[in-house]
Amino acid sequence: MEFLKNIRIVSSTSPSNKRVLLRVDFNVTISPNMKIVSDQRIIQAIPTIKLLLKNRNKIILISHLGRPNGRDAKLSLSNVAERLQVFISDYKIILIDDFQSQLGEQKLKLQKDNEIIILENIRFYKEEQENNKIFAKKLSLLADAYVNDAFGVCHRSDASIVSIPLFIPSFCGLLLEKEITAISMLFKNRSHPITAIIGGAKISTKIKFLSKLTTIADKIILGGALANTFLLAKGFPVGNSLIEEGSIEDAKKIMSLAEKNNTKIILPIDALGIDNNEVKSFTITSIPINFAVLDIGPQSRLLFTDNISKANTIIWNGPVGKCEDSSFSQGTIAIYNAIANNNHCFSVIGGGDTLAAISDKKYHEKISHISTGGGALLAFIENSTLPGIDAIRQNL
Ligand code: 3PG
Element holding 347 (H helix, E strand): strand 346-350
Q: How confident is the model at residue 201 (pLDDT cuts 50, 70, 90)?
A: confident
Ligand 1 geometric centre to CA of 66 (Å): 7
Residues 176 and 190 placed together within one structural domain of the fold: no
350 is catalytic: no
- DSSP assigned state of 208: H
Asked if residue 136 lies in contact with residue 103, where contact means CB atoms within 8 angstroms, the answer is: no
CATH number of the domain enclosing 351: 3.40.50.1260
**pLDDT(395) > 70:** no
Residues 223 and 142 placed together within one structural domain of the fold: no
Rounded Cα–Cα distance for residues 115 and 96 (Å): 12
Do the domain assignments include residue 5? no
| 100-132 pLDDT per residue, tens | 999 999 999 999 999 999 999 999 999 999 999
Ligand 1 geometric centre to CA of 182 (Å): 20
The total number of structural domains that make up the chain: 2
Percentage of the chain modeled with pLDDT above 70? 99
| 40-99 pLDDT per residue, tens | 899 999 999 999 999 999 999 999 999 999 999 999 999 999 999 999 999 999 999 999
* CA-152 nearest atom, ligand 1: 4
Over the range 307-329, which residues count as b (16 or more CB within 10 Å of their CB) and which as e?
Answer: bbeebbbbbbbbbbbbbeeeebb
Residues 170 and 208 placed together within one structural domain of the fold: no
Do the domain assignments include residue 2? no
Q: Quote the pLDDT of residue 186.
A: 86
Asked if residue 195 lies in contact with residue 314, where contact means CB atoms within 8 angstroms, the answer is: yes
Report the residue among 130, 156, 355 best suited for mutation to probe ligand 1: largest number of ligand atoms under 8 A from its CB: 156
* CA-376 nearest atom, ligand 1: 3
Strands of the sheet containing 92-96, edge to edge, are 92-96, 115-119, 58-62, 19-23, 145-148, 170-172
Rg (CA), the chain: 22
The whole-number average pLDDT for the span 327-344 is 96
Do the domain assignments include residue 366? no
Active-site residue (options: 173, 352, 374, 388): 352
The whole-number average pLDDT for the span 231-241 is 95
Do the domain assignments include residue 372? no
* CA-158 nearest atom, ligand 1: 11
Percentage of the chain modeled with pLDDT above 90? 86
Residues 262 and 308 placed together within one structural domain of the fold: yes
Asked if residue 176 lies in contact with residue 150, where contact means CB atoms within 8 angstroms, the answer is: yes
Ligand 1 geometric centre to CA of 282 (Å): 36
Residues touching ligand 1 (Cβ under 6 Å) are: 25, 27, 67, 152-153, 156, 352, 374-375
Residues 213 and 170 placed together within one structural domain of the fold: no
318 is catalytic: no
Do the domain assignments include residue 377? no
Residues 212 and 349 placed together within one structural domain of the fold: yes
Ligand 1 geometric centre to CA of 153 (Å): 6
Q: How confident is the model at residue 187 (pLDDT cuts 50, 70, 90)?
A: confident
* CA-374 nearest atom, ligand 1: 3
375 is catalytic: yes
Residues 330 and 288 placed together within one structural domain of the fold: yes
Active-site residue (options: 156, 375, 388, 393): 375
Q: Quote the pLDDT of residue 1.
A: 55
Do the domain assignments include residue 376? no
Parallel, antiparallel or unpaired: strands 115-119 and 92-96: parallel
Residues 26 and 173 placed together within one structural domain of the fold: yes
Residues 233 and 309 placed together within one structural domain of the fold: yes
202 is catalytic: yes
Ligand 1 geometric centre to CA of 55 (Å): 30
Do the domain assignments include residue 8? no
Q: How confident is the model at residue 316 (pLDDT cuts 50, 70, 90)?
A: very high
Do the domain assignments include residue 371? no
Residues 169 and 239 placed together within one structural domain of the fold: no
Dihedral (C-alpha) 328, 331, 336, 338: value to the nearest 10 degrees? 150
Residues 224 and 282 placed together within one structural domain of the fold: yes
Q: Quote the pLDDT of residue 92.
A: 98
Active-site residue (options: 202, 234, 253, 366): 202
Stronger pLDDT, 274 or 218, i.e. the higher one: 218
**pLDDT(353) > 90:** no
Report the residue among 25, 26, 27 best suited for mutation to probe ligand 1: largest number of ligand atoms under 8 A from its CB: 27
- DSSP assigned state of 152: G
**pLDDT(2) > 90:** no
pTM score, two decimals? 0.91
| Cβ within 8 Å of residue 363, ≥6 positions away | 337, 340
The whole-number average pLDDT for the span 5-11 is 94
Residues 142 and 202 placed together within one structural domain of the fold: no
Q: Provide the residue range defining the domain that includes 313.
A: 185-359
